[in-house]
C-alpha cells in the first residue's frame, strides 16, 4: 500500500517500536479450558529472560486455553529472532504439557521445524510497527474458541459507524474515515486481500465483513494520517495449515486507540453486543462473542467464544499495564446478556444457525455421512401411494 507521510502535529521525534503478539494453544487441563500454571510459568520465564536481550518489554497471559506472548522490540514485523523465541517457548511449553498429560498438548504446533517465522506453523501472530505517539495507548485483543473473522463486526462499528463511534463525527482527526484491508480466508494460493476506504466504500466493506467465516479484517489505517496503522489482526487459519480441524484459530489483535483513533470506551458497546460468531464446541457452532477478563478459563457452557482486552500505555517500548478492559462492574451485566443469547441459541441444538452450515463444518463426520446418503436419493415421479423404498 503506498502511503504519503503526513505527520501527526506536535509529535516530534519519537521511537519506532514493534509490538508482536504471538500466541498458541498448547494444551489445557481437563479439556480445552486453561493451560497449567507450570506451562504458563515456562512461557513467562522465557519472555522475562529475553527482556534483557532481544526484547524491550514483554507480558504473558492466557485467554481460555491460548497462551499469548506480548512483546515489544525494535526489530520490525516478522523478525526471525522474535519468532524463534516464541516458537522455542511453545516447544518447551509443549514438552511440559505432555509430561502433565494436558489435553491437546502441542495442539497448535503443526509443523516440526521452525523456518524463520511462525506463520504457517500453527501459532497465530499479530504485529505492528509504528512511531510512538507521546501518549501511545493500545488495546490488545485475545480470543478463544473463535475464528479470525470474530472481530469483524466490533471493528467495523468502531471504525466506520458513527452510531457507535461518535469520534467519526466530533473529531477532525477521525472525520476522513479509515482504510480497511480485508483478507479472503478461503483462498489457498496466498494472502488474497482487498483494500477499501470507509465511508466511501462502506457497503462493499459491509458486504464482505458480514461473512465472518470467509473474510476477516487484517488491518485498518487512518486516512487523514495514512502512515498510521490503527489495527493489526492475526488471521492465520489452522484448518488451512493442517487440512482438517485441529482447533480454533483464536485470533490476537493490536488496536491503537485515542486521539486520531477511536477512544478506548468507544470499543465497549461494540464488544458489548456479543455478536454471534463461528467457533465454540468442536469449532462447529455459532455463539455470541463473550467479553471476559484476562486469564479467564474457557467456558464449560459449550465453549462459548470469548475475547479479553488488555489496555497498555507504551513509552520507548516499555509497557505500562495492563488495564483489564472487560473487568469493570459494567461487564457483569453485559456478560449476563451475552450468556442469555448463548443459552437461547443452544436451545435449538444442531439446527442451523446454532450449528454452522455444512460448508463451514470443521468436523468431517457429518459431511462424510451426508455424502454416504447421496446414493440413496432417487428422483421420483409424482405418483399416488407410498414412496419407493418405504417398508
Ligand atoms: P480450542 O481451539 O480453543 O482448543 O477449542 C477447540 C474445540 O474444539 C473446543 O470444543
Ligand atoms: Mg485447545
Ligand atoms: Mg484455544
Pocket of ligand 1, candidates 303, 305, 346: which has the most ligand atoms within 8 Å of its Cβ, to mutate? 303
* pLDDT, tens digit (0-9, with 9 covering 90-100), for 195-241: 999 999 999 999 999 999 999 999 999 999 999 999 999 998 888 88
Q: Spot the catalytic one: 23, 145, 248, 259.
A: 248
* pLDDT, tens digit (0-9, with 9 covering 90-100), for 19-78: 999 999 999 999 999 999 999 999 999 999 999 899 999 999 999 999 999 999 999 999
Residue 5 in any domain: the answer is no
Torsion of CA 137, 79, 24, 304, to 10 degrees: 40
Decide: 274 and 341 in contact? Cβ < 8 Å: yes
Output the CA 62–ligand 3 centroid distance in Å.
9
C-alpha closest to that of 279 among 241, 305, 246: 305
Residue 117 in any domain: the answer is yes
Residue 377 in any domain: the answer is no
Output the CA 337–ligand 3 centroid distance in Å.
23
Residue 42 CB contacts under 8 Å (≥ 6 apart), including other chains: 89, 92, 93, 96
Percent of the chain residues topping a pLDDT of 70:
94
CA-based angle 96:363:122, to the nearest 5? 40
Residue 10 in any domain: the answer is no
Residue 384 in any domain: the answer is no
Decide: 296 and 142 in contact? Cβ < 8 Å: no
Q: How far is CA 216 from CA 131, 175, 184, 209, 222, in A?
A: 26, 24, 7, 7, 18
Q: What counts of helices (H) and strands (E) characterise the chain?
A: 10, 15
* pLDDT, tens digit (0-9, with 9 covering 90-100), for 255-283: 999 999 999 999 999 999 999 999 999 99
What pLDDT shows up at residue 358? 85
| Ligand 1 pocket, Cβ-based, cut-off 6 angstroms | 25, 32, 64-65, 104, 107, 144-145, 247-248, 250, 281-283, 303
Domain that holds residue 113: 16-372
> Looking at the 3D structure of the chain, how many domains does it have?
1
Read off φ and ψ for residue 223, nearest 5 degrees: -90, -30
Collapsing DSSP to helix, strand or coil, 265 comes out as helix
Residue 207 in any domain: the answer is yes
The model scores a pTM over 0.85 = yes
Given a cut of 70, whether residue 391 has pLDDT beyond it is no
245 is catalytic: yes
Residue 135 in any domain: the answer is yes
Amino acid at each position: 500500500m503506498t502511503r504519503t507521510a503526513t505527520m501527526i502535529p506536535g509529535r516530534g521525534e519519537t521511537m519506532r517500536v514493534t509490538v508482536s503478539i504471538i500466541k498458541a494453544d498448547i494444551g489445557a487441563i481437563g479439556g480445552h479450558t486453561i493451560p497449567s500454571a507450570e506451562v504458563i510459568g515456562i512461557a513467562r520465564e522465557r519472555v522475562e529472560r529475553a527482556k534483557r536481550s532481544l526484547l524491550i518489554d514483554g507480558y504473558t497471559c492466557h485467554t481460555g486455553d491460548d497462551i499469548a506472548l506480548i512483546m515489544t522490540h525494535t526489530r520490525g514485523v516478522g523478525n526471525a529472532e522474535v519468532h524463534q523465541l516464541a516458537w522455542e517457548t511453545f516447544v518447551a511449553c509443549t514438552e511440559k504439557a505432555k509430561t502433565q498429560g494436558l489435553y491437546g498438548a502441542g495442539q497448535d504446533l503443526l509443523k516440526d521445524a521452525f523456518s524463520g517465522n511462525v506463520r504457517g506453523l500453527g501459532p497465530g501472530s499479530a504485529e505492528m510497527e509504528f512511531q510512538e505517539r507521546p501518549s501511545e495507548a493500545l488495546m490488545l485483543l485475545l480470543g478463544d474458541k473463535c475464528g479470525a473473522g470474530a472481530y469483524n463486526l466490533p471493528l467495523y462499528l468502531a471504525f466506520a459507524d458513527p452510531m457507535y463511534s461518535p469520534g467519526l463525527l466530533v473529531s477532525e482527526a477521525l472525520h476522513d474515515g479509515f482504510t480497511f484491508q480485508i483478507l479472503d480466508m478461503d483462498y489457498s494460493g496466498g494472502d488474497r486481500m482487498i483494500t477499501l476506504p470507509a465511508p466511501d466504500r462502506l457497503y462493499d466493506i459491509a458486504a464482505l465483513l458480514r461473512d465472518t467465516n470467509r473474510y476477516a479484517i487484517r488491518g485498518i489505517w487512518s486516512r487523514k494520517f495514512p502512515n498510521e496503522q490503527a489495527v493489526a489482526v492475526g488471521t492465520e487459519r489452522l484448518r488451512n495449515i493442517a487440512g482438517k480441524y485441529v482447533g480454533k484459530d483464536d485470533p490476537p489483535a493490536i488496536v491503537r486507540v485515542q486521539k486520531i483513533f477511536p477512544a478506548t470506551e468507544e470499543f465497549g458497546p461494540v464488544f458489548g453486543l456479543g455478536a454471534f460468531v463461528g467457533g465454540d464446541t468442536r469449532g462447529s457452532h455459532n455463539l455470541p462473542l463473550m467479553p471476559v477478563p484476562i486469564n479467564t478459563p474457557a467456558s464449560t457452557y459449550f465453549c462459548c467464544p470469548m475475547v479479553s482486552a488488555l489496555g497498555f500505555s507504551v513509552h520507548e517500548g516499555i509497557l505500562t499495564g495492563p488495564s483489564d478492559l472487560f473487568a469493570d462492574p459494567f461487564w457483569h451485566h453485559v456478560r449476563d446478556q451475552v450468556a442469555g443469547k448463548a443459552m437461547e441459541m443452544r436451545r435449538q441444538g444442531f439446527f442451523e444457525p446454532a450449528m454452522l452450515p455444512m460448508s463451514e463444518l470443521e468436523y468431517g463426520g457429518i459431511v462424510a455421512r451426508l455424502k454416504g446418503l447421496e446414493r440413496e436419493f432417487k428422483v421420483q415421479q409424482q405418483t399416488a401411494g407410498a414412496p419407493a423404498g418405504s417398508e
